[in-house]
Structure 1
Amino acid sequence: MPCGRAHGLLSVFVSMALAIAAVSSTGKQRTEPPPVPESNPPMVSFKPPRIWDSPSTDPLVMNASAALRDAGYHIMGAAFDMFAAEVLPSGPATFFAINDPALVNITLPSWLMLNLLRYHTATEMLLWNDLQILTAATCLPTRLHGKGLVVTGVQTVNSTVALNGVAVSHPDIFAAGGLAIHGVHQPFYYLDPSLDQIRFDSLPFPSCNDSDFLPLPNARAPMQRHDHSSTTSRLWRRLQLALRVNGCLSFYMAMSLQIERLNASLAEATGNSRGKVTVFAPVDSYAGLSSASALIGENLRFHVVPQRLTVADLCRFPARHKIPTLFHGHNLEITCPGDFRPLVINNVMVVRPDAFVTDDFVLHGISGALDPLNVTTTT
């Protein structure tokens, strides 16, 4: 499909999906045509692209699209129906459908729409039970060549699974014929229609060929993992991955420049540089950070705690409990209000709790940078 002719393709999907939803919800109730309004509403002319003349006739695709619409995923249902032949692999697959509210105000060029669908399609069939037994740092190859989805959190107690920091919100929408479909609240990467193809290709997507990631259990072609670095290096590199996939790019860049100093501070705090850590990293979309300059030196180390602490661990502490950081003598104050209200660290909200959890570290996304100047120091 020519790119120029389809710059508004996602908007078309939105209009058609909403129309389908309206017809579906009212068609069974009407026995007579609706009355003609006194004044005609404004008409929107649309000449469909050629692909709309031949929607899929594959029974599997038709059933999957119908299941998506029945579950309220009208935009993804329409897109899947049209692009399934270009998105699905020849073998098993898992498609992660984006919820309608995340897409209604977005217009995408056709190449970005196609890449969006491919990146949300894993090349193995994974039911909800399969996803729940994966471990953090497991990489799922996708139909977007060379790009992977990374498991960033699995909590069996709360029955939650997150990929690239985005939770699966509607499991097992469809499962048949080697295809599984699950719903997610938002895309696995930030949708920016101003991206060109070159800048898109340079985005820091995870690659399943990276030796720091775990292959899918029983995958048809399991990847060989090579331990070519120390435990400490793997710790920081996996942290860098977690920061990238959770939208903490400013913190990622700052940490990349200071890993040796972080190693030294960790060794000083724990007696060795192989200790476990918890990182509170500002999420760029909340914090509005445009550079890593605000996270240099002590400011960065103030965001790192030499203990592994999940949200459950943090909320076991008494109110206003203080925990030490890698900035010697400076503590973080923990407030866990409960009642479904967010955890607060030094008056800064935790907006992505347990965003990435491994045996060695926990990453929490926060709404802004922590200021070591506004705390009481200890000796």
Structure 2
Amino acid sequence: MPMAASCSHWWHCPFYFAMAVTLAVISIYASMPPRPNHSNPTAAAAIHNRLAFNASRALRNHGFTAMATILQIYPEQFLSSPQSTIFALQDAAISNLSAHPNAVKRLLQYHTSPSNLPIKELLKKPQGTCLPTLVPGKRIAMTKNDAKKGSVEINDVLIAHPDVFLDGAISIHGVLGPFSRPELHETGQDWEITEPPVCDSHCGILSNSSKISDEWTRIVRFLSSNGFVSFAIGLHSLLYGILQDYPDLNSATIFAPVEFVFVASSRPLLDAIVRFHILPKRLTFMELTSLPEKASLWTLLLNRNLVITSSASSKQVLAINGVKITAPDAFSSEHFVIHGISRAFSTETLFKIAE
């Protein structure tokens, strides 16, 4: 029955609207992977949960019930980086979404930027500034910035409720509508989000259809969807510059840490750290274990090498710079390989680069 007919009795409207929002939330939640069971949550996890709870309460108090529910049920989808800015969609916008649940989930991630941007910081940025999102390869643009009126538009959508929630490294703003709508392919599984032309024109190499660009896009998406979100964000934000400096980089070994707090660092330091985790040569786990201890590995960071500090033949554990490889050959193609590592490599010698 159409909504209009159902609401011929006005008192039924709130019920049908609430049902639509609930179904939208359920469909999004059902498409997400199971949450890990942490029987002994760490202090960081406790802080994470507290932020999610307080943020959800603030959203609910401002009328963003659906976003509040999604954030409280699955905060990891929005708070996966050390800093986050969430652009909250109104309940009506979420209830009207009829796309595939996976596409809807990605759309919500498109409304989250891995940086802390209260409205006062957004007002400082020039019009046309592009901001990264949690969707690899997709950015949002500040299409209007009126500091005198305190007005900001993202992708031509007004931030109607600035600073709904501010706490530490998290900012939440309410927006009038979606920044984009996902365009599904015929299969209903794959999808595309159209970003503003001003951002698309900055993509450079990533916009090309070359084999290398496609491969790097696959790598960023793999990292993002397999627990290496923060590192994926850092890599993606720097890829254009890396590929400009290394135009013939058609093979590589990437050491990806699960926790990568440096994504919020200054750009020079972040650039140095990301390059320090990449070798300009494909080396599988088996090939690495065949190398002798203290063997030097050239990285993309000039004059900074990694060193094999233990080998599988001697300790049954392979470590690079004292960091264990915990997920060998997590991703492998003809020219690229990714190894998951227990933590990021030490950066003590790299801080001078950012000075």
TM bucket (normalised to shorter chain) is 0.3 to 0.5
Structure 1 or 2: more helix by fraction: 2
- TM-score computed with the length of structure 1 as normaliser: 0.41
- TM-score computed with the length of structure 2 as normaliser: 0.43
Determine which structure has more spread, i.e. the larger CA radius of gyration.
1
